[in-house]
Structure 1
Amino acid sequence: MLGEAARAAGYRLIVRDAVGSTMEEARRALDQGEPGRLWIVARSQNAGRGRHGRQWGSPPGNLYASLLLTDPCEPALAPQLGFVAGLALHDAVARLLGPAAAALRLKWPNDLLLGGAKMSGLLLEGESRAGRLNVILGCGVNIASCPSDTPYPATYLKALAPEASVEALLAALSDAWARRFAIWSEPGGFGPTRAAWLERAAFLGETITIRLPEGPLSGRFTGLDPTGRLELETETGRRLIDAGDLFFGQPA
């Protein structure tokens, strides 16, 4: 069930036992005229995917959710919703972890790490129809289990919070999203959103490597610019990165 704050803000919920992916369920709902502010949650997926079409393993016991938003903002601002979603996810998991939440960090652009290991990933997709922007935010959180065959460390919530459940995390996440989205939607709202995200950022001030279409680029991660682009100090000067994969663990 959604949290009280989410329901008060007009968000609704559909729960499925098994789907191909919640992202595709959200897209199907959009095709059928769904007005938005709709959470779609599945107990399992058989065609879950992450960024760049990567497969996302989806065994029962973890959270698989997508949020459909219709006309949430101007198209140029849509990438900022990824930071809003990351903060909401951090808030929700921190609520269930208690003191252990000190080890939570947000990895640019879309992962939540616990003790340096990946616990969750986010996927943001947008499209324009009849001049209106529609956005689907997908979220997968390891609650009861995590994959063991990944090129990076992974972990799951119950390892440190045995009482955690899909239901408890969904309630916390939906409420956290409603609060964070309301803050961001205020005039100048990306300022506090950006500051809050940076307070929780992984690898800030460290040398990182970003995989770009033209090849890997290394430099010191110094922050986010006022529009949300990653700031990287390289040997040849400052670079602003719109999108890419940040290596952690052993680059693949």
Structure 2
Amino acid sequence: MEQPKYKRIVLKLSGEALAGNLGYGIEADTIHSIAGQVKEVHALGIEVAIVVGGGNIWRGIAGSSQGIDRATADYMGMLATVMNSLALQDALENMDVPTRVQTSIEMQQVAEPYIRRRAIRHLEKGRVVIFAAGTGNPFFSTDTTAALRAAEIEAEVILMAKNKVDGVYTADPFKDPEAKKFDTLTYMDVLNQNLGVMDATASSLCKDNHIPLIVFSITEKGNIKRVVLGETIGTLIADA
């Protein structure tokens, strides 16, 4: 019997991870592959919460650079995360994985409002919970949402799934062939070296609440399961 290392996890998916090779929007094969990996982990009895970004549809920062008010652009980005969350919910439920979407902005026709105690109860009942619409506030990233929700639901780890890299490097490995991959880091390393793993607010939240973060590649099937079983892949970021 495979023995998971963690009981409750937060999986952070970027919007780009859902776009696959398209580079934008939602690629059906990719989202079904991710849903299949989540199902594998769910079958181990692990309580799974997911935070999805919206960069495959809309980026608030990019919108504000085009002259749109930053708060308005960020709210548009939050709506993009809801679209991604509903697509992921559909893919999971087609695989008979019970799933609930909770949004930080109320839209009761499509999802539940975020209520911490209800989210925890869903997890305890074996349902995957997808947190959509970020924190509900502009100027905060979905990385910060993942850190905040992980602290609120007392998750043991955040798994940050990447679609292009398999960990944290000293530089962009696509631009610098000399870039070296880190096996382990501390949150102070991330902040002091400005490594760009997640924004400073998210890193500080994780550090203050002692939540480890594992950065790994989502493109290789079975990687989520490998991480939760304790296999050493990607980069582990934790307190010193």
Pick the structure with more strand per residue: 1
Q: Structure 2 length as normaliser, TM-score?
A: 0.31
Q: TM-score under structure 1 normalisation?
A: 0.30
Answer 1 or 2: higher relative contact order, Cα 8 Å, separation at least 6.
2
